[in-house]
Structure 1
Amino acid sequence: MSTGSLTGRVALVTGAGRGIGREIAIGLAAEGMAVGLVGRTHGTLSDTLKECVKRGSRGVAVTADVCRPGSVREAVRLVERDLGPIDLLVNNAGQVDAAEVPVWETDPTQWWRVVETNLRGPYNLLRCVLPGMVARRSGRVLNLNSGFAVRPDGHYTAYATSKGALLQLSDNIADSLARYGVVVLDISPGAVATDMTAGMPMFRDNRTWASIPYMVAVTVDVARGRFDGLHGRFVHAERDDLAELVEQAEEIRRTDARTLRLRPYKDDDPMV
């Protein structure tokens, strides 16, 4: 049941025309949040906007390619013009390798497009949205990440590399953002039954999917600030006990857990 707990706040969601981005946008709208919907296809964005408006939310749909800085700047300008300053950025737009093949058999153009969408896209949004958040000393960023970020995979090298780099980007900016009260989180929803994931050969026979409504609820809690103590960390919504992570947030920060780090090979490993 909606509580209206996010009324008066503004979110920008990329990849909002379909899949998990669409459901996240609708879920935030149901809680009273105004939503800026960004994606490449006007028709699907318009459909999402209609659903958000049915929930009593304000919204705007803007067609943009997240890989193009100018396109992103204009999208952010329009969202802020129509809705106000952005309180929550959800970097959801993403692509995956077209085929399960080793890197030497990949199509170079498609491989790089995946990396651009999954890494340069979030960077472009961060570059445009963070100055306002920093100036206001308030804001939250949710990067939709993946378990591929933290484990090697020889058949989805573009996707895994880009998601690992996105996680490293969040780690690199976390300390500087903390000084201004801005939170960044990387959360994996697990394997959800979107067109992109269901089309991956490795999931061809999969019958058990992670819950999209649960990830929507997690995103709402991100917007509410429930996970602020996990700033700069990686969370796996499907597998983690989120209540336990919140409870252990101080220890997680103290031990530098849930970040990408080299494992020492001995106690006095010089790289520790």
Structure 2
Amino acid sequence: MATASLVGQVALVTGAGRGIGREIAIGLAAEGMAVALLGRNHETLVETLRECVKHGARGIAVAADVCRPGNVREAVRSVERDLGPIDFLVNNAGQVDQDEVPIWEVDAAQWWQVVETNLRGPFNLLRTVLPGMVERRHGRILNLNSGFALRPDGHYTAYATSKGALLQLSDNIADSLAQHHVVVLDISPGAVATDMTAGMPMFKDTKGWGSIPYMVAVTVDAARGRFDGLHGRFIHAVKDNLEQLVGRAEAIQESDARTLRLRPYGPDDPLA
């Protein structure tokens, strides 16, 4: 059910020190939410917090590594102590492959670091935040995902693999969360100009970047519950007609649409 107002609710945004995460945090603050900012660089988080409080929002900046369960548990305790129970979790923190090379040429440690940040990070947040949401029978989770989750890519294998796994994670927990009135969504913002995409050779000549303010607006809508009917499904903020998608939510939920599934080779495929 859509929420008329976000005033007084609490949002936790990971990777809030820069890029999309920073703008999402500021946008949620502008709507009256208290904002908890998580990231590894305390200075950039404080800069984001300064912008948030200009809107009269309560907030807290917590330096934490999302890949470390102890860091996450301590951070969430601080947030709940200072701001209250978390209503909206935005898993935004992410990394991409350092080099655009085939897998046999990658730096193995960096490859796994990408996977850990993009998959273990959200898992750690879910594992820590969900008990409170389940107990209160209320909460919304937005995982920032990517079109890379839906198609193979020979050069960004860690990023594509981790984003596909994140989408599968959301799908696998959707039914159990629904029993407790908790919603999980995976939304791709499309290709937007950030520090991360600036370092990706495939985007070096890109001119038609997606709009970060638009993704902020989509996130605000998600916090309000506009997309609750698409629980557990993948949404592309740029390519989708969101009004049409919301209108088809019931039919989508009755099918495997907007999930990752094995495509059968025909009606006689034993896995069909």
Superposed pair shares fold, TM > 0.5: yes
Q: Does 1:53 align with 2:53?
A: yes
Aligned to 1:12: 12
Q: Find the counterpart in structure 1 of residue 144 from structure 2.
A: 144
Check if 1:112 corresponds to 2:112: yes
Alignment partner, residue 247 of structure 2: 247
Shift of 1:8: 1.0
| Mapped partners of 1:234, 1:268: distance in 2 | 28
Summarize deviations over 1:51-88 as a string: whole Å, max 9, x none.
Answer: 00001100000000000000000011101110000000
Q: Could you tell me how far apart the structure 1 residues matched to 2:86 and 2:269 are?
A: 43
Identical-pair percentage: 80
Counterpart code for 1:22: R
Task: Provide the secondary structure at the position in 2 that maps to 1:162.
Answer: helix
Deviation at 1:199, TM superposition (A): 1.3
Structure 2 counterpart of 1:178: 178
CA distance in 1, matches of 2:210, 2:269: 39
Q: Secondary structure in 2 aligned to 1:218? A: helix
SS of 2:60's equivalent? Answer: strand
Deviation at 1:5, TM superposition (A): 2.5
Match of 1:201 in 2: 201
Deviation at 1:269, TM superposition (A): 2.2
Query: How far apart are residue 255 of structure 1 and its match?
Result: 1.5
Q: Which amino acid aligns with 1:260?
A: L
Aligned to 1:153: 153
Deviation at 1:198, TM superposition (A): 1.7
Number of aligned residues: 269
TM value normalised by structure 2: 0.98
3-state secondary structure, aligned to 1:143: strand
Provide structure 2 residue ranges, at least 5 long, that are not aligned to the other structure: none
Q: Which amino acid aligns with 2:50?
A: K
Residue 191 of structure 1 aligns to a residue in which SS?
coil
Instruction: Measure, in 1, the Cα distance between the counterparts of 2:231 and 2:6.
Output: 20
The one-letter code sitting in structure 2 at the alignment partner of 1:104 is: W
The whole-number CA distance in structure 2 between the counterparts of 1:122 and 1:183 is 15
Task: Give the 5 Å matches for 1:1-272.
Answer: 5-272=5-272
Residue 230 of structure 1 deviates from its aligned partner by 0.1
Letter of the 2:102 counterpart: P
Q: Counterparts of 1:65 and 1:120 in 2: how far apart (Å)?
A: 11
User: Which residue identity lines up with residue 150 of structure 2 in the other structure?
Assistant: V
Return the offset for 1:14. Answer: 0.1
* Partner Cα separation in structure 2 for residue 268 and residue 217 of structure 1: 45
In 2, Cα distance between the equivalents of 1:139 and 1:266? 40
Secondary structure at 1:60 match in 2: strand
- CA distance in 2 between partners of 1:116 and 1:243 (Å): 34
1:142 match: secondary structure: strand
CA distance, structure 1, for counterparts of residue 103 and residue 181 of structure 2 = 40
Q: How far off its partner does 1:268 sit?
A: 3.6
Amino acid at match of 2:252: I
Q: Which amino acid aligns with 2:93?
A: A
Per-residue CA deviation, residues 125-184 of structure 1 (Å, 9 max, x unaligned), is 000000000000110000000000000000000000000000000000000000000000
Distance between the aligned counterparts of 2:164 and 2:256, measured in 1?
A: 17
Distance 1:189 1:171 in 2: 19
Structure 2 Cα separation of the partners of residues 42 and 92 of structure 1: 16
Find the aligned partners of 1:26 and 1:206 in 2 and give their Cα distance.
26
Report the AA paired with residue 85 of structure 1: P
Amino acid at match of 2:190: G
| Alignment RMSD (CA, Å) | 0.8
Unaligned ranges ≥5, structure 1: none
Alpha-carbon distance in 1 for matches of 2:191, 2:198: 9
